[in-house]
Chain A
């Protein structure tokens, strides 16, 4: 049997070293690159509540509204009332938003006047206000009769 000489060992040794070194070099030396540009994000809008106002008994009004997105997008609904057909407004209630999409607020003991309502949906600094309620609610005083004081509200 012939003994292995250094020359006969050279080939397998070289290949073994190459197999080990080549993958190691490839893994450690990828091109580094960078750059700049712009990305895009978008904001949503608070959906506008749809509001209605209905007579409820003698001198009360039920204000109801629906929304397509409540909490968490909407934090609070603000109910407002006007007696000059929308020129000026008074806040009569602040209703926390829930998971519900339908809400109701009763506005009782109204004085003689014609009322119109609207509802605002708010979150942080954002506010979206509904259009005026379609119905005008009239509360008129009763001057004579067994139910003196007021007569039933009427909606027009």
Chain B
């Protein structure tokens, strides 16, 4: 049984719990402002860490993001739904994009990035006549975090009349560059 002399001391340790409400210290205006801003920054930082660069520089959300890893493509068995022939309409290009980042990426542009190679045709196909242009469909496409997505770029490739006869039935490999941003 505590002594009556100790009670004031315990009450003092308990602070606001035992102090009458009329004397409870309330956060002053500046304190409430700081609290509000802190809460806001924390909330914003939480969202930023998922998908956005925190331009404010507060470091609360962007600190964990590091730098974006480059996108790559991986081999897939996807077959274009439309095929090329000399002076014919633009045909589809398929590609499977791998996203090594821990956030989803939306690809907004695909552009030619080198010489086109052919394989598997009826014969010699050194002059392919194939070029990669601007797709008419398929973009933008979102690739999940640490995942991959296959996209068919409609109307992206054309073949001129220069294509050799041996290019019939050939499969063309088109080097591409990819441009995207966090989804």
Interface size on B, residues (CB 8 A): 76
Of all chain A residues, the one with the shortest Cβ separation from B41 is: A18
Contact of B73 with A38 in the complex, beta carbons under 8 Å: yes
Q: A33-B182, A125-B86, A125-B165 are in contact. Are A39 and B93 (CB under 8 A)?
A: yes
Q: For B74, list chain A residues within 8 Å (CB).
A: 37
Quick check: A45 and B122 within 8 Å, CB to CB? yes
Say if the beta carbon of A145 comes within 8 Å of chain B. no
Task: Judge whether A43 and B170 touch: CB under 8 Å.
Answer: yes
Q: Which of A5, A18, A37, A123 contacts B29 (CB 8 A)?
A: A5
A40 and B118 CA atoms in complex are apart in Å by 10
Given contact pairs A42-B84, A126-B163, A32 touches B30 in the complex (Cβ within 8 A): no
Is A39 in contact with B95, judged by CB distance below 8 angstroms? yes
The interface residues of chain A lying within 8 Å CB-to-CB of B101 are: 31, 33
Known contacts A33-B179, A42-B172; 10 further A-B pairs (Cβ under 8 A): A11-B33, A15-B40, A37-B178, A39-B132, A40-B94, A40-B171, A41-B174, A43-B84, A44-B85, A44-B169
Q: Which residues of A contact B (CB under 8 A)?
A: 5-8, 10-11, 14-15, 18, 21-22, 25-26, 28-46, 72-73, 123-128
Residue of A nearest to B170 (CB): A43
Chain B interface helix/strand/loop/mixed: mixed
- Contact assessment for B54 and A7 in the assembled complex, using a CB-CB cutoff below 8 Å: no
Q: How many angstroms from the CA of A129 to the CA of B42 in the assembled complex?
A: 72
Contact for B178 among A6, A22, A31, A35, CB less than 8 A:
A35
A40/B78 in contact, CB under 8 A: yes
Inter-chain contact B113/A36, CB cutoff 8 Å? yes
Residue contact A44 to B84, C-beta cutoff 8 Å = yes
CB distance from B109 to the nearest CB of A (A): 9
- Rounded to whole angstroms, the CA-CA distance of A26 and B54 in the bound complex is 7
Write the nearest CB–CB distance from A62 to chain B, whole angstroms.
29
Q: Secondary structure at chain A's binding surface: helix, strand, loop or mixed?
A: mixed
Does B95 lie within 8 Å of A37, measured CB to CB? yes
Query: Are A43 and B121 interface neighbours, CB within 8 A?
Result: yes
The interface residues of chain A lying within 8 Å CB-to-CB of B52 are 25-26, 29-31
Interfacial chain A residues near B54, Cβ < 8 Å: 25, 29
A15 and B36 contact, CB distance less than 8 A: yes
Q: Is the CB of B85 within 8 A of A43?
A: yes
A35 CA / B78 CA spacing, docked (Å):
20
Q: Is B22 an interface residue (CB 8 A)?
A: no
Is there an interface contact between A34 and B30, defined as CB atoms closer than 8 Å?
Answer: no
Contact A18 B40 (CB under 8 A): yes
| Closest Cβ neighbor of A36 among chain B residues | B177
Kindly state whether residue B139 has any CB partner on chain A within 8 Å.
Answer: no
Q: Which residues of B contact A35 (CB under 8 A)?
A: 70-73, 97, 177-178, 180
For window 42-85 of chain B, which residues contact chain A by CB distance below 8 Å?
43-44, 47-48, 51-56, 65, 68-74, 78-80, 83-85
* Other-chain contact of A42, B80, B156, B175 (Cβ < 8 Å): B80
Complex formed: what's the CA distance from A42 to B156 in Å? Answer: 12
